[in-house]
Amino acid sequence: MSVKQKPVKVLFVCLGNICRSPTAHGVFQGLVEQASLTTCITVDSAGTGDWHIGHPPDRRMTTSAKERGYNLSSLRARQVSVADFYEFDLILAMDNSNLSDLLAMQPSDGKASLALFLDYADAAVEEVPDPYYGGPEGFEDVLDLVEDGSRGLLAALQSTTAG
């Protein structure tokens, strides 16, 4: 990736922005930092709902992520805005419901491309399940899927912007 080009801006979106999307934010940000691409790729996360605005990620998600070396403590939930469709290049939804909500609010002249996050994963599933109402294993499953999708997304971004 060329440092001279404008950074690629990626937004991860789930329902409340306290479990899946902040995890994708933290994991992908970690990969971007490890690859020394922070000047080439910027990362954020948001939710389609407004009930968790300003809250940190779910403590169970934060704990599971920390055990794998990801720090989510600085993240705070926010809601997707129309401005995001002009600000970001790529908006990645965690599930089909989130994608449907995003497509419904996308302005016709917005520049962002929308897709499911796991389109970039090797996993045989297309959605990152919401672990909120489940047990601890759900948070581990989310991390497995997010790590897979993040590796694929980074590889895709590197290949499309190489040169």
Q: Which residues are designated catalytic? A: 14, 20, 130
CA distance 20 to 94: 7
CA distance 113 to 133: 30
Closest CA to 8 of 146, 130, 161, 145: 161
Closest CA to 24 of 43, 41, 48: 43
Amino acid code (one letter) for 111: K
Query: Got the DSSP string for 129-147?
Result: ---TTS-HHHHHHHHHHHH
Pair of tokens at residue 155: 């590889």
Closest CA to 58 of 43, 77, 78, 44: 77
